Chains A and B, each alone.
Chain A
């Protein structure tokens, strides 16, 4: 059972990493489109159209699909409440990736919140 738990944990790590990569590509492709200010429908449609034309948006979709496939395998093996709680680790990866790759500022309060999530996942893993 221990090795089974390790496999499930590893798969959830993998799906969270895919999620993070998806968010990174989505964020960089949206950033490259420039400021989105107007809420008029025609501008929203133009924004979406421009986004679809970005290759990075497709890479994001690819990783999102990959993440869903791994997630389905996880759900076939693990309890939903366990998997869903542990999946909150994508907050950790996104905080790391935002700081290291996107060079966003990640403040003390955010790291405190992220540590609480780590503590929470550890408790859930212990059960």
Chain B
């Protein structure tokens, strides 16, 4: 089954899934930070932490974002090949560190950027092999 070429609309939706994925991680990080969970040592503390997290609105916004990503992603995949979609959708590997720097004041050193670029290249290579045999 050959699929249509990528259009501007699909490209925009792909970029949107990048942003949504990053937003999801932002929300989950916010939800996790909202609790004073710096030292989870035993199982009862784990349970208490998770119970607290459930009460954070960020967790639910994050879950909603996961659901939206899933719906948009499934729609995109019915229109273009996975091997085209994944490389564009994996720019969240760059967007997430940028978000981390801006909103959570995390530090990303050069060696880590090099590691991230290796991961990105790897993800792109893996997705190139997903083309269905015609």
Co-complex (A, B): yes
Give the nearest-CB partner of A110 in chain B: B129
Give the nearest-CB partner of A94 in chain B: B126
Contact between A85 and B50, CB atoms less than 8 A apart: no
In the bound complex, residues from chain B placing their C-beta under 8 Å from that of A91 are: 122-123, 126
Tell me, yes or no, whether A124 is within 8 Å of chain B by CB: yes
Interface size bucket, B side? 35 or more
Inter-chain CA distance A112–B116, complex, in Å, is 16
Residue from B116, B119, B126, B128 with most neighbouring chain A CB atoms (10 Å):
B119
Identify which of A16-24, A55-63, A72-80 touches chain B. Answer: A72-80
Q: A76-B38, A77-B40, A127-B112 are in contact. Are A117 and B49 (CB under 8 A)?
A: no
Contact between A85 and B116, CB atoms less than 8 A apart: yes
The minimal Cβ–Cβ distance linking B118 to chain A, given in whole angstroms, is 3
Number of A positions contacting B (CB below 8 A): 37
In the bound complex, residues from chain A placing their C-beta under 8 Å from that of B53 are: 72
**Which listed residue (A39, A73, A116, A123) contacts B78, Cβ 8 A?**
A39
Residues of chain B at the chain A interface (Cβ within 8 Å):
25-26, 28-29, 31-33, 35, 37-38, 40, 46, 49-50, 53, 59, 78, 92-93, 96-97, 99-101, 104, 106, 108-109, 111-112, 114-129
Other than the given A119-B115, A120-B118, 13 more pairs (CB < 8 A) read: A71-B28, A72-B50, A72-B59, A73-B32, A73-B49, A80-B29, A85-B116, A91-B123, A113-B123, A113-B126, A124-B112, A124-B115, A127-B109
In the A-B complex, the 10 residue pairs with the closest CB atoms? A113-B125, A123-B115, A120-B118, A116-B122, A120-B119, A117-B122, A124-B115, A113-B126, A75-B32, A81-B100
